Amino acid sequence: MSRTRAMLHAADVPAAPGGNGTCAELELELRRVEVRSPLVGQPGTTVLVACHTSSGRVFDPITLGMEDADRLTSHSARFTLFTPAARLSCLEGVACHVTLIPVAGAAQTLIGWGVGSCWFMHYQFLQLSSTMWACQDARAGEYVLQCDRRGGVHPTIMIIMLSTGAVFVVAIALAVLAYVRAARRTTRLRARLSGLAAEPGEAAPKPVPMYQLELGREGGAVGVPPGHQGPTVVVSSEGSLLMLAKPEAVGPAQPVQESTVARALLYHGTQSLGDLRRSAGLPLPHLKAALLVLMQHNCVASWLHAEPPNLRGESRVEQLYEALPRAMLHGLHAPRYLIHVKDSLGATAEAVALKLLQHGRLRLDQVVAALQSEDAAAASQGQGEEAQTTPQRPALEIQAALLRLVRSRLVERAPVCHLPPPRREVHPNARKKKPATKPGSEEEAEQLRARAQDQAHAAYHAVRFKIPTDLVETAVPARAPDGASLAHEPARGGLGTSGAQADGSVGGKRTAGHSTPQPLPGVEEAANLPAANILWRVSLEEFNLRLRNEAIADHMGSRHGPAAGAVVAGMLAAHAARLREAGAPAADGERTVLLSEAEVARAVAVHEPDMAGAGPAPDVPGTLSSLAAEWASPVVAAGDPPAGARQYSLDIAGALGALRQGHLEVLLHDRFGPEGLRIWRLLRACRQLEQKQVADFCMMDAKDAKVKLHAMLKAGCAEGGLDVPRTADRAPSRTFYLWRADVRAACAAFTIELFLAAGNLHARLAHELSQRAELLRVLDLVNAGLAGPGALAERASDFSRIKRVTTLLEAGLLDVGASLALFLGD
Amino acid sequence: MEARAQAINSLLRTHRLQILMAATGGGHVYKMVQKEDAIKLKGLSTEDHLLYQCIARAGNVGIWTKDMKRRTNLSQPRINKIVKFLEEKGMIKFVKSVQNASRKMYMLSELEPAKEITGGPWYGDDGKLDASFIVEMQGAVMSFIRHQRVCTAIEVLEFVEENKICTLSTPLQPDDMALLLNNLVYDGQLESKEDEEGALLYRPALHHGLESTPLTACPCGVCPIIHDCVEEGPISPSTCNYYREWLDF
Ligand code: SF4
């Protein structure tokens, strides 16, 4: 991964008025350059930085050696500079040129100023409430200029490259700080620049963070943001509580402009471009750029909405945009996802998954090119043993890894942007009985439209994990250079992936009596799309489901023994297989389909290697019947054995509810003590009770019960004050006040706290790493062979402490993420 | 007629006769008073008698002094004086209600207070829950259910009675036992399920719940100021003392 960031900082000297136009000049100063490239690790590499305005060079070229870096790792360097101020006149633009010059080999230009490079114009810095500008660089892809208020003193503007094709450079950031001459205009300009700035006299706004996804030092991938934002609770249009706990929740690259658009979509719901422009308050080019970024990172979905035709037969068609809060939040599983991929499918698959996580969605050729260029760079530097033994991964190996990911349902096809918006699910209690529609009526047309909408989505789900036919033929089987045994690949995919075939169907015999589903319109052509036209993305939603299923099986295992855990896992896997056969989404249904003993036994046999501690193969029929006979068991038996085979189903919602309840109860016990927990369970069992009844039934003092109830009300766990008057005058003294356990609110509060805790763990990890930056630098030098191991021996105790601290924080983060999987599972 | 009137008056004077209003028809009904009761009532004024009757009518649930005032139309000081007089004579007694600890309740001294007043067998004489008795009973009940594996509240009650575990003057009722068992269910020590006839079955809990969760295992999960904690704010993860202690190996 190579990345460059340069920062231009305004001089504190006011600029002279005039210039080429009527507006004021800006003064710019180059303050920081950050370079990320494997070339940095090579001894003797230098960095050449120069910036140009339209009228000529603004700074003399600066040559930087690695010894000038104030932060240096094997692949990144940061330089702090103090250049003389340069002026940017009205109507002028500025662009920078950053080149890495190694001792041997070709120089690498990361940013250029030629034709097709990014130029940022004077007026762009002065636009009202503009915080971001997009720019297309022919060399490396798209850049976005972003305001930042790092340090809270001066607004800073950053340029971030968002995505690349197959080029070597991955990301570039350039920061510019503008400062206006007239002192009275400074505050206003800052407000314009940042879009977040305070009015004079107000407290300075909080710094806006930038986010980078990096590999953790201990092997796991951990996002380490250099800055952090305070938590914000957002209520999305659907009324679901969303915690935009930290910027990483909104994707791996999270500049301010994207965040503005994401917030506008979350607050106002699905919108067209015009509406979004008004609600986000951004100029159209910036809005479009931000939307593209959000869509690229799967944080926003785009739907093609066609209005019913009017009397003249004209139908208005518009593109709608919808924020996907759940997808954003699933991003927290990324580290666990990468570990899971590495463990189950090997290092190449992990590299593919990492590329997809970094870029959101990519075509196969883009993945291959990105990985191969990375390998080439590593090999040219001779970094690490691995690079020397396998200089470059062949394209077929990368392709095979991608296909394995798709078969394991860890990677999926990105949805096309012309899908219609999904229909809103109406709660069964709220559904009204409608009379049969008359042929040719408006209602019938409505129904047909709705059916077409459903079919379009069903067609996508049918091909979501389908491997393109042209890849099926070229795919190389079972080469596992990274040590992953492909023989067990289907079984190792975890719960819900029992032997998926290349076409997305499932191993094992189709149960007799199941009719072949009718092909959906559109599936055929989507399935036959050439691989070159398909964008792939990681399926964190599917992974979330998998984590959830694992938790359910573990819970049942801890309650009823390992055999029960294995059988429940088998039931969930068999259910997932049936859904795949039917082309339904994996999350479908509150209860599994009816499964025969033989079907469950087959699924258990496939998944047995996963069942740690299950011991000998479980007696599936016996375990199933004992589970069905258990009290409050989610396993339900159906059928009459003498007449036919007995079948079983699993109440997924019930099992998940019990699991959530367990997590909630630990928190309630911690917060309100055993009495509080007793009250909570009583209210859950009795639905609603008066305060005195609560005290009587819980065998508690009335005063204690009152204190506990009010504490739970304050924490949002209990709902109180539901009043039922005993007399018509509604006198308070003659009114029953009822209390309820508010499970939904408690779950929502718990989820928010999980996000806050995850964000805080993250922030503390970043803080600990930044506090020990010097130590980490020594470690990097030792790893790169630039310093001897003696350098570490001197600070062995410091090193072991930071290792334990990061291990503890990273483990905490992963565990909190797994807990979140339960609460985001619906 | 005159003789009859004289006889009634004489009996009334000696408190051997009580005149009551008929439930229907608006006439009077006469009730004979036992000799022992009549002796007790001897020396009571009409007002004393009126209040005594009011208290007697309340039965074993007792009556509040404010309610006496409302029913007898006597003034509060007068009521207080009479109540004191009757209490001294041992005719009525003060009872403490668990429902309204601040109210002064009275009932005839020979009556046992009702469950609503005492709170039932789980309350002590001071009107407060008898925690040690409850814990003792719960222990005995748990060991019985562990031994039996599955049983109903009635079976537990029979066990308690047979083994004379409860030494209260009033025997435990099925409701009392169900309350105790349900509390054990809410505490996670027992599990319950309805059988086919609708009776609740109890058995020891198979699973005692989670000890901790990832949230409660980290400082933020038990932090009282989690909603005030913001990066760059006065309370922040970077400067958090809870974290410092947690990470201080
Ligand atoms: S970081 Fe510290 S202060 Fe903030 S919520 Fe966590 S424990 Fe509390």
| Distance to chain A for B205, nearest Cα, Å | 10
Instruction: Please report residues of A whose CB lies closer than 8 A to that of B220.
Output: 753, 756-757, 760-761
**What is the mean pLDDT of the segment spanning A25-34?**
66
DSSP state of A504: S
- Is the Cβ of B90 closer than 8 Å to some Cβ of chain A? no
Give distance in angstroms: CA of A669 to centre of ligand 1: 19
The reply to whether domains B2-119 and B131-204 share a CATH topology is yes
Nearest-by-Cβ selection for B220 from A677, A760, A804 = A760
Element (H, E) at A26: strand A26-28
Backbone angles phi, psi at A771, to 5 degrees: -65, -30
Same domain, A586 and A660: no
As for the ipTM of the complex, it is: 0.77
Q: Does one domain contain both A338 and A456?
A: yes
Which residue among A152, A681, A819 places its CB closest to the CB of B213?
A819
Indicate if A143 and A84 belong to the same structural domain: yes
Q: How many domains does chain A have?
A: 5
Residue among A810, A636, A774 nearest A215 (CA): A810
Q: Which residue of A has its CA nearest to B186?
A: A678
Q: Which chain A residue is nearest to residue B212, measuring alpha carbons?
A: A666
**All structural domains of chain B with their residue ranges:** 2-119, 131-204, 219-248
Q: Which atom belonging to ligand 1 lies closest to the Cα atom of A756?
A: 5
How many Å separate Cα A498 from the centre of its chain? 25
3-state helix, strand and coil shares in percent for chain A, rounded to the nearest 5: 45, 20, 35
Residue to mutate, A760, A762, A765, ligand 1, most ligand atoms under 8 Å from C-beta: A760
B127 Cβ neighbours under 8 A, 6+ residues apart: B96, B97, B98, B101, B118, B119
Q: Residue A79: name the closest of A98, A59, A107, A93 by CA.
A: A98
- Tokens 């409430």 belong to A129
pLDDT of the residue at B219 = 92
Q: What is the pLDDT of residues A273-311, one digit of tens each?
A: 999 988 888 888 888 888 888 888 888 889 988 887 777
Look at chain B and count its residues: 249
| B216 and chain A in contact, CB less than 8 A | yes
Q: Based on the domain organization, do A619 and A637 belong to the same domain? A: yes
Distance CA A492, CA A476 (A): 19
Which chain A residues are Cβ-neighbours of B212 within 8 angstroms?
A: 666
- CATH code, domain with A718: 1.10.10.10
Which residues touch A328 (CB under 8 Å, ≥6 apart)? A242, A244, A249, A250, A251, A262, A299
Considering CB atoms only, which of B183, B209, B238 is closest to A764?
B238
CB A218 within 8 A of CB A806: yes
Which residue's CA is the nearest one to ligand 1's atom 6? Answer: B220
Residue numbers in A near B232 (CB within 8 A): 152, 206-207, 228, 230
Q: Are residues A344 and A475 in the same domain?
A: yes
Owning domain of residue A98: 25-150
CB A398 within 8 A of CB A367: yes
What are the tokens at B178?
A: 């169900």
A470-517 pLDDT tens trace: 877 555 444 443 443 333 333 333 444 433 333 433 333 333 344 444
Distance B225 CA to ligand 1 centre (A): 7
Q: Of B129, B104, B105, which Cα lies nearest the Cα of A695? A: B129
Looking at the partner chain, which of A227, A559, A761 has a beta carbon nearest the beta carbon of B207? A559
| Most confident range, picked from A235-249, A455-469, B47-61 | B47-61
- For the structural domain made of B2-119, what CATH number should be given? 1.10.10.10
Q: Which CATH class is domain B131-204?
A: mainly alpha
Q: How confident is the model at residue A21 (pLDDT cuts 50, 70, 90)?
A: very low
How many Å apart are CA A99 and CA A616, to the nearest integer?
Answer: 62
What's the CA-to-centroid distance between A555 and ligand 1, angstroms?
29
* Of the candidate ranges A49-58, A126-135, A638-647, the one whose mean pLDDT is the lowest: A126-135
How many of the other CB atoms lie within 10 Å of CB of A63? 12
Residues of A in contact with B211 (CB under 8 A): 666
CB pairs under 8 A between A and B: 129
Q: For position A27, what pLDDT does the model report?
A: 64
- The first and second tokens of residue A264, run together, are 């506008």
pLDDT per residue as tens digits for the range A607-630 = 765 544 445 667 888 899 888 888
Task: Give yes or no for a contact between A407 and A467, defined as CB atoms under 8 angstroms apart.
Answer: yes
Identify whether A824 is part of a domain: no
pLDDT, residue A352, reads: 92
More confident residue, A523 or A354: A354
Is A770 within a domain? Answer: no
Q: Give nearest CA residue, ligand 1 atom 7.
A: B220
Give the position, in ligand 1's atom list, of the atom nearest the Cα of B241: 2
Same domain, A258 and A346: no
Query: What is chain B's Cα-based Rg?
Result: 30
Q: Kindly state the tokens that stand for A569.
A: 């896992």
Establish if B235 touches chain A: CB-CB under 8 angstroms: no
Using the beta-carbon criterion (under 8 Å), do A632 and B191 form an inter-chain contact?
Answer: yes
Task: Give the pLDDT confidence score for residue A529 in this predicted structure.
Answer: 77
What is residue A587's predicted lDDT score, i.e. its pLDDT?
60
CB contact under 8 A, A670 and B216: yes
CA of A668 to the centre of ligand 1 (A): 18
In this structure, is residue A362 part of a structural domain?
A: yes
Chain A: residue whose CA lies nearest to B203? A631
Ligand 1 atom nearest A763 alpha carbon: 1
Query: CA angle at residue A254 from A110 to A82, to 5 degrees?
Result: 50
Q: Is residue A33 part of a domain?
A: yes
CATH number for the domain including A558?
Answer: 1.10.10
Residue of chain A with shortest Cα separation from B135: A699
Is A206 domain-assigned?
Answer: no
Residue A666 has pLDDT above 60, yes or no: yes
Side-chain half-sphere CA neighbours of A61 within 13 A:
7
- Segment A244-260 shows an average pLDDT of 48
Distance from CA of A553 to the nearest CA of B (A): 15
C-alpha distances in Å from residue A436, one per residue of A17, A274, A446: 74, 38, 13
Residue of A nearest to B239 (CA): A764
DSSP state of A651: B
Ligand 1 atom at minimum distance from B237 CA = 1
Query: Are residues A703 and A575 part of one domain?
Result: no
Test A699 with B226 for CB contact under 8 angstroms.
Answer: no
Whether the CB of B209 is below 8 Å from some CB of chain A: the reply is: yes
Q: How far is B23 from chain A (nearest CA, A)?
A: 28
CA distance A387 to A381: 9
Q: Which residues of A touch B237 (CB under 8 A)?
A: 759-761, 763-764, 767
Residues in A touching B182 (Cβ below 8 Å): 682, 697
CA of A756 to the centre of ligand 1 (A): 9
Chain A contact for B231 (CB, 8 A cutoff): yes
Give me ligand 1 centre to Cα A150, in Å.
23
Over its C-alpha atoms, chain A yields an Rg (Å, rounded) of: 30
B234 at interface of A, judged by CB pairs closer than 8 A: no
Q: How far apart are CA A349 and CA A340, in angstroms?
A: 10
Dist. CA B181–CA B203, nearest whole Å? 10
Please report whether residue A746 resides in a domain: no
Q: How far does Cα A328 stand from its chain's mean position?
A: 4
**Beta pairing, strands A3-8 & A171-176:** parallel
Measured distance CA(A458)–CA(A581) in Å, rounded: 13
Q: Compute the distance from residue A234 Cα to the ligand 1 centre, in Å.
A: 21
Contacts of A231 in chain B (CB under 8 A): 230
Same domain as A544, residue A531: no
Task: Identify the pLDDT of residue A255.
Answer: 54
- Chain A residue numbers with beta carbons less than 8 Å from the beta carbon of B193 are 631-632
Q: What does the pLDDT profile of chain B (249 residues) look like in tens digits?
A: 889 889 988 888 887 888 877 777 778 888 888 887 777 777 788 889 889 989 988 898 899 999 999 988 899 999 999 999 999 988 899 888 877 778 888 999 888 888 878 888 888 877 788 888 999 999 999 999 999 988 999 999 999 988 888 877 778 888 899 999 999 999 999 999 888 888 889 999 887 778 889 999 999 988 888 888 887 788 889 899 999 999 886
Shared domain check, A482 and A402: yes
Q: Identify each DSSP E strand in A606-712 by its residue range.
A: 635-638, 647-650, 688-690
B32-56 b/e (C-beta count within 10 Å ≥ 16 → b): ebeeeebebbeebeeebebbbebbe
Question: Are the beta carbons of A713 and A698 closer than 8 angstroms?
Answer: no
- The Å distance, Cα A743 to ligand 1 centre, comes to 25
Q: Are A798 and A772 in contact (CB under 8 A)?
A: yes
Same domain? A367 vs A478 = yes
Cβ-count burial B7-16 (b if 16+ within 10 Å, e if not): eeeebeeebe
| CB-CB neighbours of A487 under 10 Å | 10
Q: Give A58's pLDDT tier (boundaries 50, 70, 90).
A: low
Does B134 contact A at CB distance below 8 Å?
yes
Residue A321 sits in the same domain as residue A348 = no
Q: Are residues A346 and A491 in the same domain?
A: yes
Query: For ligand 1, which residues put their CB under 6 angstroms from it?
Result: A 760; B 219-220, 223, 225-226, 229, 235, 237, 240, 242-243
